[in-house]
Amino acid sequence: MRLIVSAAALLAMALSLGAREPMGVADDVILSDGLPRNLADYGFFKDAAGWKPNDRVVAYQLNMPLFTDYADKYRFIYVPEGQQAKVNGDGLLEFPIGSALIKSFGYEIEGRPRLLETRVLLHRTDGWLALPYVWNDDQSAATLKVAGKRIPVTFTDPSGEKQTISYAVPNKNQCKECHSLSDAVTPIGPKARNLDDGTQLANLAAHGIIGQAPKVAYPMPVWRNTGTGSLDRRARAYLDANCAHCHNANGSASNSGLFLTYEENIPVRFGIEKRPVAAGRGAGNHDFSIAPGDPDRSIMIYRLKSLDPGIAMPEVGRSMVHTEGVELLSRWIAEMQ
């Protein structure tokens, strides 16, 4: 006798066995205590290659992004059905438990975009967890690399020059170095002021990720649009995005006394004529973090231009000098009286 089972019955059987409906985000995986081996386990994307976001996985961009060796970045936010992130003023969005931030890194190679890694931040009941996933050669899967990895890559930089680097995928502990606030892992990018380019917050509201798009008092300039913001605002926004996750009153570099957040308004605290707490070779025999009118005598520029592991800032996340960033900050310091 032939047994005929309906599609509805098959679905019911699958659910009874704990299987998930195909193509949905796996909330149980996000909230579990384990470390999922494969990026696909979360269901963030409809395709294996990680380009088509699933329902409630919403793409976004930052006004002022963090520099990571000129890598292209593809950012997504996931908030569980029936919940929303809260917006409090111009600062970091507050994400409910079960949320995730997904960021893929890659380069255009031989005319096609290629992903190297995808980092996820998972908001579990005991706090945020950061995990790095590395893509295989045929771009069909990304697997967990708790210890990080080095990936050789050749690409063309914005000036048209070919560059060959050993791209660094951070290990789990290095993720915490940047994403640490008061010794707890926390997001650093999606601040309301860094999303308000006229479209990002409205798009998140339209997808139900946040409520009504708020009015942001002090939006950060848009990096790719040099016409937005004064030189001072652009320089301060660059420092906020690239340095302030450590250089803030509760960050891992709080003992330096150098606070580079966008809202800091005391000049000596964001570097102007500020002497280093512990002078060493990282100071390059210079006296001040920022020597007004003289970028070449400013510790900040000296460290941004260095590739020496004991001198370079930021300490992780780059193996190249961000030429455009150094030029921006040098011009800012040169014009100071």
Instruction: Show me where the domains of the chain are located.
Output: 22-220, 227-337
pLDDT above 60 (res 21) = no
pLDDT exceeds cutoff 60 at 22? no
How far is 203 from 191, CA to CA, in rounded Å? 15
Backbone angles phi, psi at 165, to 5 degrees: -135, 165
Q: What is the pLDDT of residue 77?
A: 97
Who wins on pLDDT, 172 or 281?
281
Instruction: Provide the CA 176 distance to its chain's centre, in angstroms.
Output: 12
Lowest-pLDDT range, 161-165, 185-189, 198-202?
185-189
Percent of the chain scored above 70 by pLDDT?
90
**Other C-beta atoms within 10 Å of 65: how many?**
18
- Of 10-24, 40-54, 258-272, least confident by mean pLDDT is 10-24
Comparing 14 with 82, the larger pLDDT belongs to: 82
CA–CA distances in Å: residue 231 to residues 218, 294, 320, 334 = 15, 16, 24, 11
Is the CB of residue 108 less than 8 Å from the CB of residue 155? yes
- Express each pLDDT in 206-230 by its tens digit: 999 999 888 888 889 999 888 889 9
Q: Is the pLDDT of residue 132 over 80?
A: yes
Mean of pLDDT values over 282-306: 94
Q: How confident is the model at residue 180 (pLDDT cuts 50, 70, 90)?
A: low
Residue 152 near residue 132 (C-beta atoms within 8 A): no
Orientation of helix 323-334 relative to helix 231-242, angle to 10°: 130
Count CA within 13 A, CB hemisphere, residue 116. 25
| 27 C-beta neighbours (distance < 10 Å), count | 16
CB 141 within 8 A of CB 115: no
Q: Where are the alpha helices (DSSP H) in the chain?
A: 7-16, 27-31, 172-178, 200-206, 231-242, 299-304, 323-334
pLDDT digits (tens, 9 = 90+) for 5-16: 333 433 333 333
The pLDDT value recorded for residue 5 is 36
Q: What is the mean pLDDT of residues 150-155?
A: 95
pLDDT at 250 over 90: no
For 55-68, the pLDDT digits (tens) are: 999 999 999 999 99
Ordered alpha helix ranges (H), 125-193: 172-178
> Whole-angstrom Cα distance, residue 43 to residue 331?
45
Which regions of the chain does DSSP assign to beta strands (E)? 57-60, 72-78, 100-109, 112-124, 127-135, 142-144, 149-156, 162-169, 180-181, 184-185
Spatial distance between the Cα atoms of 67 and 290, rounded to a whole number of angstroms: 21
Does pLDDT of 279 surpass 70? Answer: no
Which pLDDT belongs to residue 198? 73
CA dist 256 and 247 (Å) reads 8
> Greater confidence, 116 or 281?
116
pTM of the model: 0.87
DSSP letter for 334, please: H
Tokens 């002021």 -> residue: 193
Q: How far apart are the first and last CA of the chain?
A: 92
Res. 1 pLDDT band, cuts 50 70 90: very low
